[in-house]
Each structure stands twice: as structure tokens, then as C-alpha cells.
Amino acid sequence: MATFRLTRRAALAGAGTLLAAPRLAFGQGTAPTILPAARPEANWGVAAGDVLADRALIWSRADRPARMLVEWSTNEGFRNAQPINGPHVTEVTDFTGKLDLSGLPPDQEIFYRVRFQDLSDSRAASEPVAGRFRTVPVSRRDVKFLWSGDTVGQGWGIDESRGGMITYESMRKTGADFFIHCGDTIYADSVIPAQIRYPDGTVSNQITTPEKSKVAETLAEFRGAHRYNLLDRNVRAFHSEVAQMWMWDDHEVTNNWSDLKDLSGNAAYREKHIGQLRANATRAFLDYAPLRINADEPERVYRKVSYGPHLDLFMLDMRSYRGPNSPNRQEAAGPETAFLGAAQLRWLRDGLASSRATWKVIAADMPIGLQVPDGKDAEGRALFEAIANGNGPALGRELEIAGLLSAIKANDVRNVVWLTADVHYTAAHHYHPDRAQFRDFKPFYEFVSGPLWAGGFGPNALDDTFGPEVIWQKAPGTDNAAPGEGTQFFGEVQIAGEDGRMTVLLKDLTGATLWQRRLVPEPV
């Protein structure tokens, strides 16, 4: 498998700010304070997102109003660099900037640098922050990518004395082409205490900030939750070297949210209107996600990326169009059973049917056949947060999935694989109609991996509606298990350019492979 790495010389170009921490002053148990500077600073790193064969979305952030300047080159020494004037960054976007680089050569390593120019003095600019990515191939070369989810959850934050969020450093070392974040990119509803105790009795001294000292309600607090993750040097280094493809789930807003979530009894929230929380959370997510904005639906997260002849990637949004959590046992489809929603479901069905790629990978927020409970209703009936609702025929939200799986079979769509996170452990599932209550579908695999840095949970109970079988799994067996060996996971996919064979590897936070399987594609 071919890999590539930004050399130290390229990474340190322009005063070495690639891995430099933001200029912060810390007191014991206090929030960091930005120190003043005479010119703009860009200490929050860079990221390249939604990379295609000829373009990529470049993200960065300044510490004040400024003009974003980008230069790129196919040469690590930046010979013949192409300079581009990016957008002005202001309070409107929390000083974040995005530039959609176009006209790039396919299957080429691209080196880029970002500076921010002072608005009152064009001669004053920040030190450059460097990154790199590789554009999408048009030929059959080897491709490697990663996926996982769930960052800074359940009170587990950044402890620099313990190395910070080291899962990100292990992923960086893989030399992957890109990374899919399957959601819960932040935990807006999770407070980060200054100290937290590990199971061995030791105390972790964590970085804290005002925004992470309470649940996020205001736009500033949601933005602060995104900035918190970028205080970790592992996260910034990973973003600069591995292209990003972000999705979202519930914790970008609040736990288990839908548009009808009731916050009236939640004492942690002064803001009781879920619509206002969602609006603030969406604005913050779009400011900080290296995600290309959809021209027809500016807040749309689901999208397709074609990554060479062997891979079409379909990234879903299982949050924005769903009905409320319920016992999920409705016999007929309707607004209460919506999960993907009619428009997204049609987009996915048609996209799968028209795809000519060897593999059709569906990246989902949540697993299909694992039961994810959400308490009980006033009548004592169990409520469900995901698709599964307990053993039996397809009911409730399962009706959408049943229709989708039937369409995949009817259209003879081959080599469909599902990747997901959410449940805070790792597993390989195989779905087969011979084991299922609903049988009108082709067998398929679903691979689960996460969290990146959050409490470990699981394993969850299976639902036999679509006939899942656990091929392999690893879970801590306790709730909110501390980050460490056996509790943090990510997945890696390798696709061989020569014959299209796919190898799926499930890994722990050190990068050690726990389980793997090679899949041979059917002809397409």
C-alpha cells in the first residue's frame, strides 16, 4: 500500500507553525487566555476537506479580522507556488475561513500554506501554517482511508501530560488518503472538568475553557466547543496531514436530539427551544467543519464523493430529517418513522443504482442492527434512538431501511459496505436474509469503530430484523470506560488498485490491528 508523508522540512516551512500550539497562558485549573500579538496569528491549524480530483476545501482560523491567503504547490519546497486570495474572515464566521481550491492536478500530492493578512496593514501577516493532501486518482491506484467518531465525550478531555488525544496521532501515522468523521465531532452537551479520575486512581489534569465548563447554548459556546478540540496538538497535526470528510450526529447539538426533542425538564439548559439550539449548533459546525457547502441546500451534510474507479462514498445524515424518538413500532411509514427522510433516501437509492465504482461505501451516523435505547415514555414503553427497535418484522424506522435494502437488491447493486460509529466500541457485523425477519435484501457487512476520545460503552444488543451476526467485537463491558487500551478505536480500509480487493482493519488507539478481513468484490 503506497503511503506518503509531509516531510519535516515542508511541515516546518514558514517558522514552524504546523504543530505549534496556540499561544496560551494557563493557570492551574483555569481557562487558557490568548496572549496579544502585533500581527494576526493562525494557531488553530489547517485542514483540507472534501478532496476531489481537481479541487479541495481549505480551512483555517485567525485570531482577529483578517484576509485569508493561500498558496499551493506540487513541490514541497513551494517552487512555482500558486498564490490565491481567500475570503475575509470576521466575527460572522468566528474568524474561520474556507477556500475551495480548484484547478488542481489529479492524483497529485499538494502542499499548501495559509496566512492571514492584517486588514489595516497589508504588510503584517501571520506566520504560515502548512498542510498537505493528495487529490483523487483517476487511475486504479491503491487507496487507504480511515473512519471513526466521537471526540471529547463524557467528560474526557485533553491532558497534555498523558499525551493528549493520542488516537489522532496513531491515525496520522497510517499515511491515509482521507478520514471520515462519522459524527459527534464535538460533545456540546458534555462539560470538561479540570480534573477527572482514572480507574487506577490517578487524577487527570485536563485543559478547561469557559465554553466547555457548561453545556453549549449560545453560538459562542458552540464555537468554543469546536475550538477546544483544536487545542490538542495531535488533532491539529492530523488535520494538516490527512484530508477530512466530516459528518455529524447528535452531540453537535445535544444528546439524542431531533426537532421535537423536549428540553423543558433538563435543568442544565436555560435555552429550552431545540430549534434555537440547532440553529446555533449548525452555524458553529459549518464554521469549523472543512465541508464544502451545497449550493442548493446550504446546511446539507449528506453528500457523495467519488474517489477513483474503485470507490464511491455516500456520507449520510441520520439526524436532520428524522422524526422524534418513539417506541418505533409503527406498522406504516409516516412522519414519525422518518430517519433519513424522503429526499435523502431517494438520493441514496438513485446514487447507488447509478454508481459504477467497484465499492459503494455508505458512511452512516448510526448502526443498523444495534439497539440504542433512549429511556422510556410516560407509559413505560422503551424509546429508541437509532433504527433498531427489538426483534421482529420491519417496523418504525426500519421501514426506510427495508425499502432501501430491497431497492439495492432489485437494482442489483453490488459490493455495498456500511461504516459507522456512535456506540463507543468496535465490531464487525454481517447481515444475511437467511437469519432475518425481513428477507428481501442482499447480504452485506457493517463495520463499527469508535470512539476517538470519549467514554467506552457496549456492547449493544442485536436486533434480528435484518439478520445481523457479530463476526467480531471488542467493548469495555462497562459504562464510560476511560480512554486507554481497549476503549478507543478507529477503522482502516485499504482498497488494492490492481484488483479492487478491500481489506478492513479494526484498530485500537495505538494503531495496533485487532481484527481484519479481506473482501473480494463481485464484478460490476
Asked if residue 486 and residue 410 are part of one domain, the reply reads yes
Q: 3-state class of 166 per DSSP?
A: helix
- Tens digit of each residue's pLDDT (9 = 90 or more) over 438-481: 999 999 999 999 999 999 999 999 999 999 999 999 999 899 99
Which has the minimum average pLDDT: 12-26, 204-218, 494-508?
12-26
Domain containing residue 126: 8-134
Q: Tell me the three cell numbers of residue 42.
A: 493562525
Pairing of strands 444-448, 416-420: parallel
Q: Is the pTM of this model over 0.85?
A: yes
Is residue 151 pLDDT above 80, yes or no?
yes
Q: Tell me the three cell numbers of residue 63.
A: 485570531
* Residue that has been written with the C-alpha cell 476537506 in this structure: 49
Q: What is the mean pLDDT of the chain?
A: 93
User: Residue 4's pLDDT is what?
Assistant: 32
Q: What is the DSSP secondary structure assignment for residue 317, as one 8-state letter? A: -
Asked if residue 173 and residue 304 are part of one domain, the reply reads yes
User: Residue 438's pLDDT is what?
Assistant: 98
- Whether 282 maps to a domain, the answer reads yes
Alpha helices in 289-426 (DSSP H): 342-354, 398-410
Average the pLDDT over 58-65 and give the result.
Answer: 98
Is residue 94 pLDDT above 50, yes or no?
yes
User: Residue 32's pLDDT is what?
Assistant: 42
287-302: burial string, b at 16+ Cβ within 10 Å, e else: bbbbbbeeeeeeebbb
Asked if residue 154 and residue 59 are part of one domain, the reply reads no
Contact call for residues 312 and 304 (beta carbons, < 8 A): yes
Of the pLDDT bands very low, low, confident and very high (cuts 50, 70, 90), residue 343 is very high
Q: What is the CATH number of the domain that holds 122?
A: 2.60.40.380
Of the pLDDT bands very low, low, confident and very high (cuts 50, 70, 90), residue 37 is low
- Tens digit of each residue's pLDDT (9 = 90 or more) over 155-178: 999 999 999 999 999 999 999 999
Asked if residue 440 and residue 360 are part of one domain, the reply reads yes
* Residue that has been written with the C-alpha cell 475575509 in this structure: 88
- Whether 385 maps to a domain, the answer reads yes
Last residue of a domain, one of 134, 157, 178: 134
Asked if residue 257 and residue 401 are part of one domain, the reply reads yes
Structural domain total, the chain: 2
Average the pLDDT over 337-361 and give the result.
Answer: 98
